[in-house]
Chain A
Amino acid sequence: MLNKSRLLLLFLLIGFAIIIASPEGLLSGAFSFPLQTQQLTKLSDKTTNTPFAIFEPNTLRMNLGCEPPSLDWTRATDAASFDVIANIMVGLTKYTDNLSSAPSCAQSWDITDNGKCYTFHLRPDIHWSDGKLLTAHDFEYAWKRLLDPQTAAPYAFFLYDIKNAFAYNQGQIKDPNKLGCRAIDDHTFVVHLNRPIAYFLYLTSFCPTFPQRQDIIERYGNNWTNPGHLISNGPFILKKWQHEYKIELAANPSYYGQAPSLQTVKMFMIPEQSTAFALYENNQLDCIDNRSFPTSEIEKYRKSENQHGEYREISLLRVSYIGFNIDKKPFDDVKVRQAFAFGIDRERLCRILRHGEKPLASLIPQPLLGSVPFQSAQSYNPQLAKKLLSQAGYPDGKNFPQTFLLYPHREDTRLLVEAIQDELKRNLNIHVDLLNQEWQVYLQTLRNNTPPMYRYAWGADYPDPDTFMNLFTAHNGNNNTHWSNKQYDLLVNQAGCEANPQKRAQLYKQADNLLCKEAAPIIPINTAAQNLLVKPWVRGISANQLDLQFFSNVKVGN
């Protein structure tokens, strides 16, 4: 009876044996991974004192953590897909290391009509990897495809500010030629905007707006992203895609820019953190990030000083917050929401999470325009929280209705919500139940039947406050709080079009104050951080706050 449960006993027994026998060499060598050993080069590395450093020359091995759901850049939405696409494609503009926009496919552009008309002049010498010339028509096709309601691209909102784009995407206008983006000739691409948004050149630097080949997509249909079919224009090309195992990129000989030093990038899909981490320690991966870096190991690497500078921590433009459904009791009362906000010690939460998270006072993370530096005294005040709660009719948490917090099924979110549950119990004497759901189910629940409280995180799509602030405008599909405020919408809209940075910052601060202090449909908790481990023989890994990794300048070797 219950034989399966005896397996656990066996497992635990083996666990003891391993722990007791070898606390240090526990995982190394316990996993074998099919890497061709004859390709591995052994060498003794004098500078770093690692006598058995092993790497594959001019090859970078990293872990995507999972199979990329889609390599079609009009449809992709997740980090694994973007990691591949950002290295095989370039757009009109590109991000520099400090996240400003620089010329790429477009060598220059004119901005006219008070910032509402962009004319891009394309370089005449850019070729696709099959030798065909890149033209402005490829951009026109890609952008129309992104906005086409048939494509149902989640990132269609990226281009909503183009003339008629929203109406076309919603099906109110049927004719794609009415859209405000057009190729005048092979090398000139003109875009007409509804309003002069200040961050448009960021949009042209990110995956959804990259050009696409009409002939290829029409010939292969949904299979056009398969290796051999997929044609790209970036520093690398897709060479192999072994599903659930690895993707292999090779240097693109027809890339217009400086040829990358790497010949091959191997992107493995190892879902288990501990397995991937063991592979890194075994020199079978060259760099890993949070996806492959168990939290408890981060602490160890951060503390130890003799790790050859392998460890890096980058604060990300990624915000995690608690949202309320303001239609559901007791969170229809703004005092309750404010009480919760003051009753949570965000600094303590960050200490518990241990990835290098930073507490947040505003929805806009630093160093973006309009961000408010975190000050503990102004964000955490249990006395005030208790006062607000009793004003709302629940002195010392008495008679507070039973409520719950929904969170997605992931290890670090579990820890965060447990810590929040503890904070609320300790500071407000309120017990909140915790409920977790699988990611897809969780997203559906948020849309269709928003729970009283939920934990959500949002990563910036472009390094501008707008990417966060427009989330809570009335018509944004990601605003699950049911909160809408005309003044807020107006402020965010105004700020988006404001050219003067000081004025913009001021407007965003006002909107943020409304969102996070006065109405408080959300409580911003913390910004995330990326923790990287990079082997000493890898140079030039550029990690940025958008969490995009570009491998064109990476070198592997001594």
Chain B
Amino acid sequence: MFLIRELKLQTNMQQTKIHLAKIAAIIILIMCVVAILSSLGFSFTSYSYDQTSECILKPPSAHHLLGTDELGRDLLTRIIYGSQLSISIGFLTAIIAFLVGTAYGSIAGFIGGRVDTLMMRGIDLFYALPDLLIMILIGIVIGRGTFGILLALGLVSWMGTARLVRAQFLYLKKEEFIEAARACGASSWRIIVKHLLPNAFAPIVVSLTFIVPSAILAESTLSFIGLGLSPPACSWGTLASEGWRALRTEPHLILWPSLAIFIVVLSFNFLGDTLADKLDPKNKLIN
């Protein structure tokens, strides 16, 4: 009796979670579409992102739905423009983490033995380096710009994926279907690409959904402390950093970009969470 109620409760919670994840996915989809359209030159407002005007620091109004900034630029336009960078940085970092992490993890996991130990110590080394410091150093050496930010973020984000892939490989390579493939004379490359990777794919995807929001946040942090893009280009982080000084008198300057960051990060986290549940083999019992 108790067990059934418990199970029901869990199913209800699962249902809510799935609904939330659906909403999150829709939000992310809309944001991505907006970002892509705006990078293709489609303008959602009647202003351009660096178009200044005499309306300096005006609160939200009919002309400027989210208000204007210190140079009289329309904030909504800038947030939409900023989404290009913030979202693409998120995805690109995930891709870098995927490529580097998977390659590194596959080699370590597949070869195993001494190579594996050595490579894992390498990862420990990277983990020990303070993220923010690395990002600041790269920002200083390479200079402000998308490339520097991407490199910095990529450099500190791939280790988790690498560990995950290695663990999956270590576990999978002892499975019978791998033995079978080997017995058929498949090359190492074929085994990795055709057999191991597809089977390790689910956890990798889940880990990537968590890298996207953390990269968006990290980019915002970098921009917030002044190491982000060079003006007039902007991301949500630079917008927030321009706004925080006027927190008391012009709260709209920091409110909207922060809200954008908040919503996207939250959506990704909901989505990732539900994906993890869905793809976790243990949960199949309940479903």
Contacts and interface: CB of A to CB of B under 8 A. Distances in A.
A and B: bona fide binding partners: yes
Interface of A: 1-9, 12-13, 15-16, 19, 23, 26-27, 273-274, 294-297, 299-300, 351-352, 409, 411, 414-415, 418-419, 421-422, 425-426, 433-436
Contacts of A351: 56
B230 A296 contact: no
> Ordered nearest first, which 10 A-B pairs have the shortest CB separation?
A296-B246, A5-B217, A296-B249, A5-B218, A2-B214, A12-B258, A5-B221, A2-B218, A8-B221, A19-B251
B250 interface: yes
B169 interface: no
Contact of B247 (A15, A419, A422): A15
Contacts of B251: 19, 23
Interface stretch (B16-24, B153-161, B278-286): B153-161
A166 B221 CA distance: 51
Contacts of A12: 240, 258, 261-262
B41 interface: no
B70 A9 contact: no
Contacts of B71: 352, 415, 418-419, 422
A1 B261 contact: no
Nearest to B250: A296
A49 B171 CA distance: 77
19 contacts: A1-B160, A2-B218, A4-B132, A4-B221, A5-B218, A5-B220, A12-B262, A16-B258, A23-B251, A26-B247, A294-B249, A296-B249, A297-B248, A351-B56, A352-B56, A352-B71, A422-B232, A434-B231, A435-B230
Nearest to A13: B262
A2 B210 CA distance: 11
Interface residues of B, number: 42
B52 interface: yes
Contact of A1 (B211, B230, B254): B211
**What's the dominant secondary structure at chain B's contact region?**
helix
A410 B232 CA distance: 17
A352 B221 CA distance: 26
Contacts of B214: 1-2, 5-6
Nearest to A3: B131
B277 interface: no
Contacts of A418: 71, 231-232
B81 interface: no
Contact of A296 (B72, B157, B160, B248): B248
A295 B132 contact: no
A274 B157 contact: no
A434 B231 CA distance: 7
B226 interface: yes
Contacts, number: 105
**What's the dominant secondary structure at chain A's contact region?**
helix
A409 B56 CA distance: 23
B170 to A, nearest CB: 21
Contacts of B132: 4
Nearest to A426: B52
Interface string B169-186: 000000000000000000
A274 B245 contact: yes
B215 interface: yes
A296 B221 contact: no
A6 B268 CA distance: 14
B110 interface: no
B245 A294 contact: yes
Given A1-B210, A300-B249, A418-B232, 9 more contacts: A15-B244, A296-B250, A297-B248, A411-B245, A414-B231, A421-B232, A425-B232, A434-B231, A435-B230
B232 A2 contact: no
Contacts of A7: 221
A5 B132 CA distance: 9
A9 B226 contact: no
B265 A9 contact: yes
A414 B246 CA distance: 15
Residue from B132, B157, B246, B248 having most chain A Cβ neighbours under 10 A: B248
B122 to A, nearest CB: 16
A15 B220 CA distance: 15
Nearest to B215: A2
Contacts of A436: 226
Interface string B200-217: 000000000011001101
A7 B224 CA distance: 12
Interface in B65-80: 70-72
B264 to A, nearest CB: 11
Contacts of A425: 50, 232
Nearest to A300: B249
B247 A19 contact: yes
Contacts of B156: 1-2
A1 B249 contact: no
B255 interface: yes
A468 B132 CA distance: 43
Contact of B255 (A3, A16, A27): A16
Nearest to A2: B214
A6 B221 CA distance: 9
A419 B56 CA distance: 12
A297 to B, nearest CB: 6
Given A2-B131, A422-B71, A409 B226 contact: yes
Interface string B38-55: 000000000000101000
Given A2-B217, A5-B221, A422 B250 contact: no
Contacts of B72: 352
B52 A422 contact: yes
A274 B247 CA distance: 10
B220 A8 contact: yes
Contacts of B218: 2, 4-5
Contacts of B232: 418, 421-422, 425
B148 to A, nearest CB: 13
Contacts of B246: 294-296
B265 A295 contact: no
Contacts of B240: 12
A482 B50 CA distance: 33
Contacts of B70: 352, 415
B165 to A, nearest CB: 15
Contacts of B259: 16
B245 A296 contact: yes
A13 B131 CA distance: 22
Contacts of A9: 217, 261-262, 265
